[in-house]
Structure 1
Amino acid sequence: MSSVDIQLHTALARAVAGVPHHELRGRLAQLSHRYRTEQVADTAPGIRDTLDALAYAVVRMPATFRALHAALSTVEHQPTTQVDLGGGTGAAAWAAAALWPSVTTEIVERQPAAIRLGRQLAAGNFPHNWRWTTRDVRDWTSPTTVDLITIGYVLNELTEQTRRDLIHTAAESATTIVIVEPGTPSGHRRTLAARELLIEHGLTIAAPCPHQGPCPVDWCHFAARLPRTELHRVLKDGTRNYEDEKFTYVVATRCPARPTPARVIARPGRPKNRVVLDVCTSTGAAQQVVVPKSSDAYRAARRTNWGDAWPQSS
């Protein structure tokens, strides 16, 4: 568990101290149903009050943080300014601050309860350079260009036209855009649609795709492993001390980009004396790479994980 994971879990534990678990469970069931069925925000408001915000933050924020951190880790150019659209309780801001402590962040969120909790969680951790704006992302505009816009787990809550409008506005307002969605087939399709729009606006795809062409697979997603606290296990009736957050993402930029030759798009297979990697290549094709133990690349292949660049840089 990283130091930022510990900070986040500690802040969450303080926030829920004294709140009955059965009350959190009740709200969690409602929020989980909304998340699984991908209901749009217009018809199913998400975080309505403080208890909703707490239930969401305890169970979803650590996973969202890990997925966003993984996606942001592929950004090559360090940003100095970030706008997080639909930022909820601040998971993307935590992820950016973990990578670039000096980044100045504006979090745009329409639910006051989420903003109140987000400020509470950040207090004592990242309070000095965050600004919270109460606003609906559907009518957000930026007066200036920012280095980085993050849109994490937001497109799944919007109608198709609203998604297009938001991507158009973001593309005109940022040097680099990072979009993260749930790692479902529908999340992959939404991300691909956003990717096409970003390319149309002149941005270059920097990750995860090593090319600018059509996606060669039906479903591309990744996984971020995160530790579960005791409270997390209790609320989710879980027995394992970890969970894997499945997500899909795209990073697009106006900066010079150096796409990797290939990226691992599935969990590596490690049968005896070889490593099997499913990769997406710079030619726009998906292929399988088998690295035998006799190969000089075997040791690097053993260290390679789902979502990593291949071959690994020295």
Structure 2
Amino acid sequence: MSSVDTQLHAALARALSGVPHQELRRRVTALSKRYRTEQITDTTPGISDPLDALAYAVTRMPATFRALHAALTEAERRVDSSFATHLDLGGGTGAAAWAAAALWPAIRTEIIERQSAAIHLGRQLAIDGPRAKWTAGDLRDWSPHDRVDLITIGYVLNELTEDARRALIQTAARTATTVVLVEPGTPCGHRRTLAARDLLIEQGFRIAAPCPHAGPCPVDWCHFAARLPRTELHRGLKNGTRNFEDEKFAYLVATRCPARPAPARVVRRPVHPKNRIVLDLCTSAGTAEQIVVPKSAATYRAARHTTWGDAWPPPS
């Protein structure tokens, strides 16, 4: 685990002290089903009371932290800008604030959230964590007070109607110089991400990641995976046996700043048949397959360390 992973898990463990695990497990099961089947909507919130907030934080916050951290890492690599002010829309218990602080320790984050139980728990968790403040607000009727360097919208668009999604993206485009969007790694999440991508391009934004271009998406379903460690408690609450899980997500980094998109992006897990590595790529010209063999020694070494979601070729 990274130091921030460790901090976050320690904060969650403190919040769990004295909570009956049997009742928490029932909440975890119900909440996981609602999120998995995308039953959370703008009229049916996922978090309704403090125990729901804790169930969400224990089972989902480490995964959303990892996905948001992966997307923000691409913003750091691909956008020529510094990030001092951060607005997280619909940020719940604060995963994006933790992810941003892991990359930019001095960043100041404001989280807009409508669920009071999530706000209370997020503040409790962040006592020894990121520099974050929560503001109660409903994204269906929200307007910003100030411009910021960075806006994150993580796992939120699936909870809004199409009109509300469009209005939120347009407001974000007027408020921040860089917008980072993360959605569940489902076909529906991919389509919502593409719709937001089109809106941001219309507003004059450049696409910095994951796409190597701003043209039409050449794949039916673009998503990636972030691996995260599981604690013993996490495994028990989710009836898991492995000590890790892979969080599937779709994401977008769009900016008004100068950007350096990757020349190509690995869009599936590399295949390693004997004496070669096969990379499925998204490029500025569309999809492509590259076969790397040992005789191209430097390229082969790079390919051996390249995984799903990485830029290709890797930075020298």
TM-score category, normalised to shorter length: over 0.9
**Structure 1 Cα separation of the partners of residues 277 and 82 of structure 2:** 33
Aligned amino acid, residue 167 of structure 1: I
* Residue pair 1:67, 1:245 contacting (<8 A) in 2 also: yes
Instruction: Give the secondary-structure state (helix, strand or coil) at the position aligned to 1:161.
Output: helix
Is residue 2:149 matched to residue 1:120? no
Aligned residue in 1 for 2:70: 70
Aligned residue in 2 for 1:209: 211
- Aligned residue runs from structure 1 range 69-108, under 5 A: 69-75=69-75, 76=79, 77-108=81-112
* 1:124 to partner: Cα distance: 1.5
- How many residue pairs align between the two structures? 311
Once the two structures are superposed, residues 170-218 of structure 1 have per-residue CA deviations (whole angstroms, 9 ceiling, x without a partner) of 0111100000000000000000000000000110010000000000000
* 1:168 to partner: Cα distance: 0.7
- Aligned residue runs from structure 1 range 2-17, under 5 A: 2-17=2-17
- Aligned residue runs from structure 1 range 35-46, under 5 A: 35-46=35-46
* 1:288 to partner: Cα distance: 0.8
**Structure 1 Cα separation of the partners of residues 239 and 225 of structure 2:** 21
**Structure 1 Cα separation of the partners of residues 84 and 161 of structure 2:** 31
Aligned residue in 1 for 2:264: 262
Aligned residue in 2 for 1:287: 288
Aligned residue in 2 for 1:218: 220
* 1:144 to partner: Cα distance: 2.1
Larger displacement relative to structure 2 (60-69 or 43-52): 43-52
- The runs of 5 or more residues in structure 2 that have no matched partner are none
Aligned residue in 1 for 2:180: 178
Aligned residue in 2 for 1:229: 231
- Aligned residue runs from structure 1 range 135-154, under 5 A: 135-154=137-156
**Structure 1 Cα separation of the partners of residues 40 and 63 of structure 2:** 21
Aligned amino acid, residue 181 of structure 2: I
Percent sequence identity over matched residues? 71
* 1:78 to partner: Cα distance: 2.7
- The runs of 5 or more residues in structure 1 that have no matched partner are none
Match of 1:275 among 264, 274, 277: 277
**Structure 1 Cα separation of the partners of residues 21 and 294 of structure 2:** 51
Match of 1:162 among 164, 169, 183: 164
* 1:40 to partner: Cα distance: 4.2
Aligned residue in 2 for 1:191: 193
Aligned residue in 2 for 1:22: 22
* 1:251 to partner: Cα distance: 0.6
**Structure 1 Cα separation of the partners of residues 203 and 72 of structure 2:** 21
Larger displacement relative to structure 2 (27-36 or 297-306): 27-36
**Structure 2 Cα separation of the partners of residues 40 and 29 of structure 1:** 14
**Structure 1 Cα separation of the partners of residues 43 and 85 of structure 2:** 33
**Structure 1 Cα separation of the partners of residues 69 and 180 of structure 2:** 11
Instruction: Give the secondary-structure state (helix, strand or coil) at the position aligned to 1:255.
Output: coil
* 1:274 to partner: Cα distance: 1.3
**Structure 1 Cα separation of the partners of residues 23 and 126 of structure 2:** 24
**Structure 2 Cα separation of the partners of residues 78 and 88 of structure 1:** 25
**Structure 1 Cα separation of the partners of residues 179 and 211 of structure 2:** 14
Once the two structures are superposed, residues 95-118 of structure 1 have per-residue CA deviations (whole angstroms, 9 ceiling, x without a partner) of 000000011110110011101110
* Residue pair 1:34, 1:44 contacting (<8 A) in 2 also: no
* Residue pair 1:40, 1:159 contacting (<8 A) in 2 also: no
**Structure 1 Cα separation of the partners of residues 214 and 42 of structure 2:** 33
* Residue pair 1:78, 1:100 contacting (<8 A) in 2 also: no
- Aligned residue runs from structure 1 range 236-255, under 5 A: 236-255=238-257
Aligned amino acid, residue 293 of structure 2: P
Once the two structures are superposed, residues 122-170 of structure 1 have per-residue CA deviations (whole angstroms, 9 ceiling, x without a partner) of 11122xx322101111222112221000000000111111100100100
Give TM-score scaled by structure 2 length. 0.97
**Structure 1 Cα separation of the partners of residues 21 and 201 of structure 2:** 46
